[in-house]
């Protein structure tokens, strides 16, 4: 795949710079056929032609983005990065949980993460930079809405706790990076001592990427479990919409935020909510959720970050900072749903209203 992509890309680049010729998909595809007849690249005939053509289609899309000014010039694919091959319907067969690829006699030995809802329309085989193989199947299905529940919840995202709910539940943030930091540092030190381009360096690099992959897996697994639980239990989930990208630019906070995975968490809540017929409501992050007393509505002038609990000067209610914020977020979210839009000029933006 990479070989075809890169050799056709080189050929296209030459045509573009030497002869000022733009090459279309048809010519690129003809070029592929020509390459396949050469004796030194005869191995290309041993695999299905579909993923080879598919990668040229992706290259075509990359060129289109470039010519329309949306992207940089297409780059060569590196052996070190994620590799993938895309099989469209004519190039695979799926029967009762077994997957056969074209030009392969044996079915793929797959450990399924879940049963497929139907026959897939596209199958992508990929190898990540940690050397692990994955099969992803594109399936179209009708999502089944969960039975309606009367429960609603507000969520305040944080760093020390991943989130605090309006019911007072705290879900801790197990800083996965910190747990693996020592192992990662050791692996990286070893890598830095290896000679450039050597076999041992490649092995050491694989070790480093394996630890990175492990950290990422722990994180997404946990986020999936948490988002699943919130969506199953609640009809409406109100959450602060985050400008995560802006926050990540703050170098002091960025590592902790990337570790917490807020963006991914909100994404999961949204799509799972959409499938289950639940509502996920985003509240503008400039809404003073922390500084407002959730009991009487009084807003205090300032509430420095280090103050974790406070007492409202108006009504005397003692507040936990995060729980109070979560209760306010829930109230604001419900107001958004009831009124449709702007509440008292604060300007709340729903992340999505899927139903």
C-beta closer to Zn ion: residue 257 or 293: 293
Residues 275-294 that bind Zn ion (CB under 5 A): 293
Of 156, 169, 221, 270, which residue is the catalytic one?
156
200: contact with Zn ion by CB under 5 A: no
Selected binder of Zn ion within 169, 233, 314, 341 (CB under 5 A): 314
**Nearest-approach distance from CB 323 to Zn ion, in angstroms:** 14
Task: Please answer whether residues 163 and 323 qualify as being in contact, where contact means their C-beta atoms are separated by less than 8 angstroms.
Answer: no
Backbone angles phi, psi at 246, to 5 degrees: -65, -40
Strands 152-157 vs 98-101: parallel, antiparallel or unpaired? unpaired
Non-local (6+) Cβ contacts of 15 within 8 A are 21, 22, 23
344: contact with Zn ion by CB under 5 A: no
**Nearest-approach distance from CB 250 to Zn ion, in angstroms:** 31
Sequence-ordered strand ranges (E) for 201-352: 236-240, 279-283, 309-311, 318-320
315: contact with Zn ion by CB under 5 A: yes
Centroid of chain to Cα 162: 17
Task: Tell me the HSE value of 238 on the side-chain side, using a 13 A CA sphere.
Answer: 27
Stretch that binds Zn ion, among 26-34, 125-133, 259-267, 298-306 (CB under 5 A): 298-306
Selected binder of Zn ion within 178, 296, 307, 349 (CB under 5 A): 296
User: Would residue 128 show up in a list of annotated catalytic residues for this protein?
Assistant: no
C-beta closer to Zn ion: residue 163 or 287: 287
User: How many Å apart are CA 262 and CA 248, to the nearest integer?
Assistant: 11
User: Would residue 284 show up in a list of annotated catalytic residues for this protein?
Assistant: no
User: Would residue 240 show up in a list of annotated catalytic residues for this protein?
Assistant: yes
CA end-to-end distance (rounded Å), the chain: 41
311: contact with Zn ion by CB under 5 A: no
Q: CA–CA distance from 172 to each of 114, 160, 165, 252, 332 (Å)?
A: 28, 7, 12, 20, 24
User: How many Å apart are CA 272 and CA 222, to the nearest integer?
Assistant: 15
* Matching residue, tokens 């694919």: 77
295: contact with Zn ion by CB under 5 A: yes
**Nearest-approach distance from CB 219 to Zn ion, in angstroms:** 37
**Nearest-approach distance from CB 312 to Zn ion, in angstroms:** 3
Of 161, 284, 322, 341, which residue is the catalytic one?
322
Q: Which residues bind Zn ion (CB under 5 A)?
A: 293, 295-296, 298, 312, 314-315
- What positions carry a catalytic annotation? 156, 240, 322
């Amino acid at each position: 795949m990479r070989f075809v992509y890169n050799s056709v890309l080189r050929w296209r680049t030459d045509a573009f710079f030497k002869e000022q010729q733009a090459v279309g998909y048809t010519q690129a595809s003809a070029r592929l056929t020509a390459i396949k007849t050469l004796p030194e690249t005869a191995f290309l005939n041993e695999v299905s032609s579909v993923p080879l053509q598919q990668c040229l289609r992706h290259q075509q899309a990359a060129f289109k983005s470039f010519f329309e000014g949306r992207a940089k010039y297409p780059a060569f694919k590196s052996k070190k990065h994620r590799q993938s091959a895309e099989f469209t319907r004519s190039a695979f067969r799926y029967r009762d949980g077994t997957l056969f690829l074209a030009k392969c006699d044996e079915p793929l030995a797959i450990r399924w993460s879940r049963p497929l809802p139907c026959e897939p329309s596209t199958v992508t085989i990929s190898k990540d930079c940690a050397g692990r193989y994955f099969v992803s199947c594109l399936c179209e299905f009708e999502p089944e809405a969960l039975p309606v529940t009367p429960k609603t919840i507000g969520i305040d995202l944080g760093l020390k706790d991943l989130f605090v709910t309006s019911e007072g539940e705290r879900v801790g943030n197990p800083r996965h990076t910190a747990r693996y930091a020592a192992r990662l540092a050791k692996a990286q030190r070893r890598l830095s001592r290896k000679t450039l381009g050597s076999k041992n360096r490649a092995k050491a690099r694989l070790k480093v990427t394996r630890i990175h992959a492990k950290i990422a897996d722990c994180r997404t697994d946990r986020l999936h479990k948490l988002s699943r639980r919130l969506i199953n239990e609640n009809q409406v989930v109100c959450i602060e919409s985050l400008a995560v990208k802006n926050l990540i630019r703050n170098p002091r906070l960025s590592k902790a935020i990337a570790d917490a995975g807020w963006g991914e968490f909100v994404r999961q809540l949204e799509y799972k909510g959409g499938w289950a017929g639940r509502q996920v409501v985003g509240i503008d992050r400039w809404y003073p959720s922390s500084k407002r007393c959730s009991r009487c509505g009084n807003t205090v002038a300032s509430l420095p970050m280090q103050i974790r609990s406070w007492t409202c000067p108006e009504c005397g209610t003692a507040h936990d900072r995060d729980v109070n914020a979560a209760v306010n977020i829930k109230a604001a979210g419900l107001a958004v749903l009831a009124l449709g839009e702007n509440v008292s000029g604060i300007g709340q933006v729903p992340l999505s209203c899927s139903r």
